[in-house]
Structure 1
Amino acid sequence: MVTIKNAVKGALRIGQTATVLSKTGVSWVKGDRPPVPRLIRQTFESLGATYIKLGQFIASSPTFFPQEYVEEFQYCLDKTKPLPFSIMKAILQDELDRPLSEIYEYIDSTPLASASIAQVHAAKLVTGEDVVIKIQKPGVENILLTDLNFLYASARLVEYLAPKLSWTSLSGIVEEIQRTMMEECDFIKESNNLKEFRKFLDRTGNADATVPKVYDHCTSRRVLTMERFYGVPLIDLDTIRKYCSDPERTLITAMNTWFASLTQCEFFHADVHAGNLMVLEDGRIGFIDFGIVGRISAGAWQGMSDFISSIMVGNFEGMAEAMIMIGITKKQVDAQDLADDIRNLYRRMDTMVPEYDVLNGGKDDEVNNILMEIVRIGEQHGLHFPREFALLLKQFLYFDRYVHVLAPELDMFVDDRLNMLH
């Protein structure tokens, strides 16, 4: 019966998808023709949870997708219209399987945030602690599975019809998206990530950063109850100055904490946008939302470390060797030819010696563009980079933006207070 019910829901979902696509097609025929990347992004937002997440995947994957799509999907916001509290309360009740009055003193019916997968409500436990409750929206997993199975079948068909595209592994990309999205739907995994990161902070004696405490007695696969943090995003410079006297020092703490996690924790936080890094009222850095994490092998990290070191000293041959170590290829790559192409890129950008100043002193778009250009050059030489490499680059870009806001005089690649390679 459950299988039949899910099959019916799946069929309805495919019907909804077809309706949205047909409306987009009609608008196109009538003359509403924005640039293709924008049209696809707007269509994805209309299609809901799966496609919004897919759009965010594209935005964070310059190693997989053309630059114009990566840039357009930066605007793919994971915000949706809130569902009525009565619906979310019913899910909460069903998941915790006991009277809510025995757990929470009160729950604010107005959500703090509403995203494609979950809705967040402020609450207070009967024991007095202020908490937030992350509640998964109804039917999300079934929608994700239906959409992703449809995308996987479509990708395999495209690869069959166009064998030259098989090396890009469209179906492999969809499988990776499915893995990460389904992990996001399992709040037990997210709670475990929070606990593991806290252990990492304790183990390294880091009292300047923290993560929310998880309350296991009111957490399940679809409900996550955790400590409520009071503070502001990392880019709110005026308020940060009220919480601490040295915003630059605060930023260095955040960056060193993240850098240390690359080698001393089981995973790294793979979405350190400003909303997920808070400066708390007591001046500590709060890392939140561990739904997306990355794991990197020792070999891949060594390559990334070598890549950064080479950028710091303008060593093009070293950059090329590191890219070959990180990338995946089916053919022999000539390291010197790759190094020469990277050197020519820097010359085209009118970069002054030392070359790494381009990555540290330019505007956000320049930083983004040069990194994507380097990746593109690697791909022209037959290298394909793993998603974890793209995730790492994305986090470095976030931190570069924070440097511009909080510490414009800070040299991200040479300041000895930053433990980037340790």
Structure 2
Amino acid sequence: MPAIIWYAIIAIVFAGGAAWVSRRVLDTPIGWVRSVLTGLVVFVAGTPLAVWALQSADVLDEGGVVAVDDAIAALFLALTVGWMFAVVVVAIVTLEFLWPTRPMRNPIVVFREMFRRRDRARRYAQILAIASRHGLGIVRRHRSGARDDLPGALVGALNEAGVTFIKIGQVLSSRDDVLPPELTTALSTLQMQTTPIPWSEARAAIEAQLHRPLEEVFAYVDETPLAAASVAQVHAATLRTGEHVVIKIQRPNARAQATTDLDIIERLAADAERRTDWGREYGAAALAAEFSRALREELDYRIEAANTEMLRSAVARSESAHVRIPAVYPAYSTAQMLVQERAAGVPLSTFDASTLDQEDATRIADGLLDAVFEQIAVLGVFHADLHPGNVQLAEDGTITLIDFGAVGVVEKSLRRMLLPLLVAMANEDDVAATDVVLLVVPAPELSPAEQASLQHDIGVILTRIHNARVDENIFRALIDVLRRHRLALPPSLLLVFRTLASLEGSLRRIQPGYDMVGRALERAPHFARRLVSPESLVMLAQTEAAIVGEQLRRAPRRIEALARQLEGGTFSMRMHAFEDSGERSWIEVLVGRLTTTLVGIALVIAAVVLGVSVEGPELTPDVPFYPFLGSLVGLGGLLLLLRSLREAFARRQSGR
């Protein structure tokens, strides 16, 4: 067999062995391709140097023939191969430091990501073109100067941009604490005023969800939609059994477009949080993630159907007769279509308040507020998106809530704190209000000075709103105070306050100038009494008595066991430190790494000491035994140090 073939076989065997040794020594998932290629390069480049070293040690003669005993030659050859392995490990560690190994990605994921990048690029171009057409592009804005119709241009652009951006506009329309009134007023028109899809597309989408012709289920469907919202449009219909219903059908491209848009928004938010101070301060990534979650749930009408039935069940136990929740027809409802009882009346977004006299308007507004307040404070389940388009008023004064994509849930323990907070606000009791806030808000222990400052700010807003008769939402003012003190309300309570803020706009569609805050604070004691009814107090007392009784029943046995241990000298205490298996594992790993490093250093020092020694037997005329042994010991020490170094690199990259 030609020598070149033998050389190639030995090189391949060395490369494979070096890759295996490197992965074992470094104990990290290094790629096989990188390890084998590094081994091949080191073998090819190191072979002439290894031959020269063996000839200098008189192991090989000038012709490459072994000039010493076979056993000694085997020792030198093993040492040479070992050092070549060490060079491979050094090269791999260097490559890992400069260019860390990354796991091979799934080809399906790679192709999927390619298509997503294409969709994102296409969507970016569409958004820029839409902005430019509405005068929001950079070139046109600089050319035309300041825009006099910025709100209208923004609404037009968001409306044309589609589902996700219309939803963003809807969210921003309730943030008049951040945006100027002209913008929030314009954005509020996005609630219902969107461009409907043609009936042919809507019919095809309905039949796709039914999996049968339209006429088999519906006796009549109005081709003109009742409303066209950001995600869906609604058509009046009649079932073949005679019930009057509405069909809420999702726009055909809504889900795909929202997926691309949410991907873009989450990436932009993460980039803003990484690069800007305001992004970090507001938690842009978390806000984008929450918005994405809410929109994805809104795109699944099975969730809305479940929310509707949950709220219907809660309202059935209500004392209020002012609010109705339409029934759902689950047999015809899917993830992208909802068939629901048709509600009587007109949306408050199009309602003319001048058609009601003052007394009727006050009665209807009070009834709606009481019903919502009861949902929040007593029932714990409430409609969380009460903008005017989701509230319909019938001629007899009955109010129907629609669109249950967002439903809030407040646990009873939090409701027990919410009502005392509202009662304290009604009494202008800043001390009690501050105490309740500190019980509700998950926050570190505040110093006396910080508590006094918080109490002062809460007292100021209570006094201002009670005495100055300012048109200000007390719930939004409270949120602003907590934000200034770097305190955050629980998400469910924050949703309550935001719901009340949007409800205020709906109430003022019924009666302009309606004092929602005053009415809410006035009714708070009534609902507080309902929440702490005699029956609930008796049940609470029974529960607490049972718990205390069980603890007292077990106390004598525990005291006896403790006394027996003290008497017998077997009493012991267990430290919680390092009790967890994760903590023990961390200590074991740390001690192992330290031991490996110390042993490696010791071996290198021993190698240096042996290397400078000229005493002792000689393996060859030019190589004493002790320097040879030092080279062998140094090789082992180098490999241990390289392993410790690689672990340090890996720990730094993982942030541990």
Q: TM-score scaled by structure 2?
A: 0.55
- Whichever structure has more helix as a proportion of its residues is 2
Q: In the alignment, what sits opposite 2:452?
A: 336
Tell me whether 1:200 sits opposite 2:306 in the alignment: no
Q: In the alignment, what sits opposite 1:221?
A: 335
Percent sequence identity is 26
d(CA) in 2 for partners of 1:71, 1:323 = 33
Gaps of 5+ in 1: none
Q: Deviations over 1:73-97 (max 9, x none)?
A: 3431232111110001100010110
- One-letter amino acid matched to 2:273: E
Shift of residue 253 of structure 1? Answer: 3.1
Shift of residue 12 of structure 1? Answer: 2.7
- One-letter amino acid matched to 2:292: Q
SS at 1:28's partner residue? helix
Q: In the alignment, what sits opposite 2:184?
A: 73
d(CA) in 1 for partners of 2:300, 2:435 = 38
Tell me whether 1:367 sits opposite 2:483 in the alignment: no
d(CA) in 2 for partners of 1:61, 1:311 = 23
- One-letter amino acid matched to 1:68: L
SS at 2:238's partner residue? strand
SS at 2:123's partner residue? helix
Change (3 A) 1:188 1:419: farther
d(CA) in 2 for partners of 1:326, 1:269 = 22
Q: Deviations over 1:118-149 (max 9, x none)?
A: 01111111111111111100111121121112
- One-letter amino acid matched to 1:412: R
Tell me whether 1:47 sits opposite 2:161 in the alignment: yes
SS at 1:384's partner residue? coil
d(CA) in 2 for partners of 1:248, 1:418 = 20
Q: In the alignment, what sits opposite 2:621?
A: none
Tell me whether 1:13 sits opposite 2:118 in the alignment: no
d(CA) in 2 for partners of 1:278, 1:255 = 14
Q: Deviations over 1:47-91 (max 9, x none)?
A: 3321221222233357xxx62368733431232111110001100
- One-letter amino acid matched to 1:383: L
Q: In the alignment, what sits opposite 1:30?
A: 143
Residue 323 of structure 2 contacts residue 399 of structure 2 at CA under 8 Å; is this kept in 1?
A: yes
Q: In the alignment, what sits opposite 1:381?
A: 485
Pick from 248, 251, 257 the counterpart of residue 143 of structure 1. Answer: 257
For the pair shown, which has the larger CA radius of gyration, 1 or 2? 2
Pick from 510, 519, 529 the counterpart of residue 412 of structure 1. Answer: 519
Q: Which has the higher contact order (CA 8 A, sep 6+)?
A: 1
Shift of residue 346 of structure 1? Answer: 5.8
d(CA) in 2 for partners of 1:343, 1:409 = 20
Residue 121 of structure 1 contacts residue 133 of structure 1 at CA under 8 Å; is this kept in 2?
A: yes
d(CA) in 2 for partners of 1:82, 1:72 = 23
Q: In the alignment, what sits opposite 1:100?
A: 214
d(CA) in 2 for partners of 1:273, 1:290 = 12
Residue 390 of structure 2 contacts residue 402 of structure 2 at CA under 8 Å; is this kept in 1?
A: yes
Task: Report the aligned-residue RMSD.
Answer: 3.6
- One-letter amino acid matched to 2:183: E
The number of residue pairs the alignment matches comes to 405
Change (3 A) 1:203 1:136: same
1:312-351 pair list within 5 angstroms: 312-327=426-441, 329=443, 332=446, 334-345=450-461, 351=464
d(CA) in 2 for partners of 1:220, 1:297 = 29
- One-letter amino acid matched to 1:376: D
Tell me whether 1:126 sits opposite 2:240 in the alignment: yes
Stretch moving more, 170-179 or 31-40? 31-40
Change (3 A) 1:90 1:356: same
SS at 1:124's partner residue? strand
Change (3 A) 1:26 1:328: farther
d(CA) in 2 for partners of 1:170, 1:330 = 23
Change (3 A) 1:117 1:233: closer
Change (3 A) 1:318 1:26: farther
d(CA) in 2 for partners of 1:254, 1:176 = 29
- One-letter amino acid matched to 1:67: V
Residue 326 of structure 2 contacts residue 342 of structure 2 at CA under 8 Å; is this kept in 1?
A: yes
Gaps of 5+ in 2: 1-107, 532-656
Q: In the alignment, what sits opposite 1:174?
A: 288
d(CA) in 1 for partners of 2:302, 2:343 = 20
- One-letter amino acid matched to 1:81: T
Change (3 A) 1:157 1:332: farther
Residue 314 of structure 1 contacts residue 356 of structure 1 at CA under 8 Å; is this kept in 2?
A: yes
Q: TM-score scaled by structure 1?
A: 0.82
1:257-336 pair list within 5 angstroms: 257-265=371-379, 267-327=381-441, 329=443, 332=446, 334-336=450-452
SS at 1:67's partner residue? coil
d(CA) in 2 for partners of 1:327, 1:299 = 13
SS at 1:220's partner residue? coil
d(CA) in 2 for partners of 1:56, 1:320 = 32
Change (3 A) 1:374 1:70: farther
